[in-house]
């Protein structure tokens, strides 16, 4: 990989420098540095306890199960061997035989394996092994009873290990009471180590998960806040599904990577390092022998990483295709059924499903090959340890405890390698998600509030609106409005009509400051709306749209939009003004009725009635109706007309309508055509002029 970049081909290639991504991700760690350090410290404690347990096993074997004294003969001792013996005089016990002595197990532990081998070759150390025990009143009767089996010298008695089988079980327990006590102590110590390991593991996993959840909470909140603060132009170029994926799936991928990194990967890496250090410290020759297989394992892991990444990417692509197909089919189910497309769609979905099956099987095959290869490598390493280490144990070059410890550590060594290879895909996917989140959060289309607003929340707008030479286009070079100028006096009702695409809705979007004008200015009460805080501006504008969106939840919550300052009486009054009281009464739970996602239990007309109630409730100075009666039947429309007479009184009102029956009482009418004001005047003046408005009215009434 060239430079310092990572490339993913799941859906696109990453172009952001990896260090930039890591710095971006690291800033969320700032508040949780202490928690992360504690988790790393706990991980270190887990590693120590994991590495300590086999050493306790070795201690039991070498000190209490196979610990043995040896007989040495000082007749014709070579000079080199004499030096070994001289250094261990405190552990040498005279024997009944001339110039023969017993060397205690403690003295043997001070000798190197090569030194013991040299003593055996020189004939100084005899091959027989003896069990040594300090004489005491609790075993005196055993020694007396079996006097022919023991050699007593000073405070110790010695017997060959083969003689122990001649004792009864009770006698053997009394004779080896010290070993049993030592084993019991080490067993309790091992249990304590296991308990500590459990506590450290639990604490580390809990802290990592807690920290991870807090960080992901911050990232998810940051994404939500960032998306919510964008202007509408941001959403015209960004699909909603992609934004939902950023806040859910991509954040979840980061969560999995964080957990894998701090709960597993770092711990696995350090435990591998710890095992290597312990094994080489214990016996470097045996370590080199058992790690002969490592190059093969490294090659297998490298090949697996590449192949699994490709397979993982293909699976993700197929899953995304299936999700898209399912979502699209459900959303357009009415069209599918009306045009009898069920069979064709089913065939296409089966094809996608089969491709997903093949991609998953490819991934399974890769894992099915890699896992047995790791097991084969581990078993080969164990076989080498048994072959070489077993031979050395027989030759007494190493102890049985050392051999057992090696086998235990080898088993521990290969488990993290397998985990590291499998978590590679998690890291790959997480970096792709991290880049997409980074690009989202650095793509800002926010309409900023003025640094010094010319109005405050204590002010009250009169509602005079003025457009001065306004030019605007959603796409550069394609203007929707061209040099539009008009004014609406406070309390005046003005309607805007025109053919589809004339720019009517754009006027509303600019007035609400969903977009900023590119040329010219819009003023309210003589103040440029760019100098007014957005929240203050929009709190004085009531907008009733053609497509009414209702949130899942209660009817009351959809009217108040979560604002708890309105009383029950105010809500009921707003419903009466909007002629929506009958709608509420027919629902079983009234205002507490759950309208479901998108208001599925209500008709389009009923949803529009609720949007009128929303506007009435906030009592705005400026009221905007955007095709607000287009989906209402004539009977309901008459009720709305009655409500509008009360609603429009003493308010500045801007009405956009295709149905001219709703605007006959407007003070003035603006006719937009191709982004320009084509006609302007009262309804009577425009009808008398017999221009575009007259023709539109004539066409509609004839229709």
Mean pLDDT by groups of 10 residues along the chain of 703 residues = 40 63 83 88 89 88 84 74 68 77 80 75 83 86 86 85 88 88 91 93 90 90 87 76 80 84 78 85 80 80 76 75 78 76 85 88 84 82 82 74 84 78 73 82 81 70 90 87 92 89 89 90 92 88 82 84 84 83 84 79 80 84 79 65 71 82 82 91 88 84 51
Same domain, 366 and 506: no
Q: Which residue has the tokens 């010219």?
A: 520
Q: Which of 53, 84, 11, 624 shows the shortest CA–CA distance to 318?
A: 11
- CB of 675 within 8 A of CB of 685? no
pLDDT (0 to 100) of residue 628: 66
Same domain, 520 and 556: no
CATH label of the domain that carries residue 568: 3.40.50.300
Residue 314 located in a structural domain = yes
Residue 506: CB atoms within 10 Å: 22
Q: Which long-range contacts (CB under 8 A, 24 or more apart) does 671-675 make?
A: 671/496, 671/497, 671/498, 671/696, 672/484, 672/496, 672/497, 672/498, 672/502, 672/503, 672/504, 672/507, 673/498, 673/499, 673/502, 674/482, 674/502, 675/479, 675/480, 675/481, 675/482, 675/484, 675/502, 675/503
Cα 523–502–488 angle (5° rounding)? 30
**What is the C-alpha to C-alpha distance for residues 71 and 128, in angstroms, rounded to an integer?**
7
Q: Which residue has the tokens 């003046």?
A: 685
Tell me which residue range forms the domain holding 673: 462-540+625-631+652-703
Same domain, 294 and 365: yes
Same domain, 516 and 561: no
Asked which of 397, 415, 447 is the last residue of a domain, the reply is 397
- CB of 289 within 8 A of CB of 388? yes
Same domain, 568 and 533: no
Same domain, 523 and 468: yes
Same domain, 527 and 601: no
Residue 349 located in a structural domain = yes
pLDDT (0 to 100) of residue 369: 85
How large is the C-alpha radius of gyration of the chain?
43
Q: How many CA atoms lie within 13 A of 672 on its CB side?
A: 28
pLDDT (0 to 100) of residue 672: 92
Q: 536-565 in b/e burial notation, b at 16+ Cβ within 10 A?
A: bbbebbbbbbbebebeeebbbbbbbeeeee
- CB of 556 within 8 A of CB of 591? yes
Residue 448 located in a structural domain = no
Same domain, 483 and 381: no
Residue 6 located in a structural domain = no
Domain total of the chain: 3
pTM tops 0.75, yes or no: no
Asked which of 349, 371, 397 is the last residue of a domain, the reply is 397
Residue 122 located in a structural domain = no
Burial of 271 (0-12, 13-18, 19+ CB in 10 A): buried
**What is the C-alpha to C-alpha distance for residues 549 and 598, in angstroms, rounded to an integer?**
6
Q: Is 233 helix (H, G, I), strand (E, B) or coil?
A: helix
- CB of 190 within 8 A of CB of 53? yes
Same domain, 527 and 556: no
Same domain, 373 and 494: no
pLDDT (0 to 100) of residue 703: 42
- CB of 461 within 8 A of CB of 507? no
Residue 409 located in a structural domain = no
Same domain, 569 and 689: no
pLDDT (0 to 100) of residue 378: 80
pLDDT (0 to 100) of residue 646: 67
Residue 475 located in a structural domain = yes
Residue 7: CB atoms within 10 Å: 12
Same domain, 526 and 554: no
Residue 685 located in a structural domain = yes
């Amino acid at each position: 990989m060239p430079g310092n970049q990572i490339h993913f081909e799941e859906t696109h290639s990453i172009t952001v420098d990896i260090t930039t991504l890591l710095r971006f991700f690291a800033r969320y760690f700032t508040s949780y540095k202490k928690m992360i350090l504690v988790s790393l410290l706990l991980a270190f404690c887990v590693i120590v306890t994991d590495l300590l347990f086999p050493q306790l096993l070795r201690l039991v074997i070498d000190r209490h199960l196979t610990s043995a004294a040896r007989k040495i003969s000082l007749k014709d001792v070579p000079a080199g061997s004499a030096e070994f013996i001289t250094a261990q005089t405190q552990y040498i016990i005279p024997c009944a035989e001339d110039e023969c002595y017993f060397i205690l197990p403690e003295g043997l532990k001070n000798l190197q394996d090569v030194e013991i081998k040299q003593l055996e070759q020189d004939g100084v150390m005899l091959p027989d092994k003896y069990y040594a025990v300090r004489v005491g009143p609790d075993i005196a009767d055993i020694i007396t009873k079996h006097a022919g089996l023991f050699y007593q010298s000073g405070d110790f008695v010695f017997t060959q290990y083969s003689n122990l089988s001649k004792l009864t079980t009770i006698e053997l327990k009394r004779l080896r009471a010290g070993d049993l006590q030592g084993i019991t102590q080490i067993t309790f110590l091992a249990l304590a180590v296991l308990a500590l390991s459990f506590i450290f593991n639990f604490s580390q996993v809990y802290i990592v998960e807690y920290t991870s959840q807090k960080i992901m909470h911050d990232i998810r909140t940051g994404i939500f806040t960032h998306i919510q603060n964008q202007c509408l132009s941001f959403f015209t170029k960004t699909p909603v599904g992609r934004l939902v994926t950023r806040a859910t799936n991509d954040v979840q991928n980061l969560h999995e990577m964080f957990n894998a990194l701090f709960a597993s990967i770092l711990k696995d890496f350090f435990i591998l390092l710890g095992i290597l250090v312990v094994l080489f410290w214990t016996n470097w020759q045996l370590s080199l022998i058992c790690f002969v297989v490592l190059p093969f394992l490294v090659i297998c892991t490298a090949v697996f990483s590449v192949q699994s990444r490709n397979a993982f990417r293909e699976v993700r692509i197929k899953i995304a295709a299936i999700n898209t197909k399912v979502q699209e089919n459900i959303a357009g189910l009415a069209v599918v059924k009306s045009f009898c497309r069920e069979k064709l769609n089913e065939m296409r979905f089966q094809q996608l499903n089969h491709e997903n099956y093949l991609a998953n099987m490819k991934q399974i095959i890769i894992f099915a090959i890699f896992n047995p290869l790791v097991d084969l490598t581990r078993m080969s390493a164990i076989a080498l340890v048994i072959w070489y280490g077993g031979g050395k144990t027989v030759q007494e070059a190493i102890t049985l405890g050392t051999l057992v410890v090696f086998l235990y550590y080898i088993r521990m060594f290969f488990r993290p390698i397998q985990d590291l290879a499998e978590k590679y895909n998690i890291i790959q996917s997480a970096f792709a998600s991290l880049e997409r989140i980074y690009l989202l959060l650095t793509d800002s289309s926010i309409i900023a509030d003025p640094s010094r607003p010319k109005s405050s929340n204590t002010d009250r707008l009169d509602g005079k609106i003025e457009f001065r030479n306004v030019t605007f286009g959603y796409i550069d070079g394609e203007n929707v409005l061209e040099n539009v100028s008009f004014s609406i006096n406070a309390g005046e009702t003005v309607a805007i009509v025109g053919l589809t695409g004339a720019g009517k809705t754009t006027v509303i979007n600019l007035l609400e400051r969903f977009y900023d004008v590119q040329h010219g200015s819009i003023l309210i009460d003589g103040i440029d709306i760019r100098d007014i805080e957005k929240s203050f501006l929009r709190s004085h504008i009531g907008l009733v749209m053609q497509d009414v969106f209702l949130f899942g939840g209660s009817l009351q919550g959809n009217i108040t939009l979560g604002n708890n300052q309105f009383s029950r009486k105010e809500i009921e009054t707003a419903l009466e003004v909007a002629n929506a009281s009958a709608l509420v009464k027919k629902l079983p739970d009234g205002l507490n009725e759950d309208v479901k996602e998108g208001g599925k239990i209500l008709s389009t007309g009923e949803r529009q009635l609720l949007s009128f109630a929303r506007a009435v409730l906030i009592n705005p100075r400026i009221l905007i109706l955007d095709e607000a009666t287009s989906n209402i039947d004539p009977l309901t429309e008459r009720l709305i007309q009655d409500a509008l007479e009360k609603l429009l009184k003493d308010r500045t009102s801007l009405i956009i309508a295709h149905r001219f029956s709703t605007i006959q009482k407007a003070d003035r009418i603006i006719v937009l055509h191709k982004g320009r004001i084509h006609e302007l005047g009262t309804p009577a003046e425009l009808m008398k002029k017999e221009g575009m408005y007259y023709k539109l009215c004539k066409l509609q009434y004839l229709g």
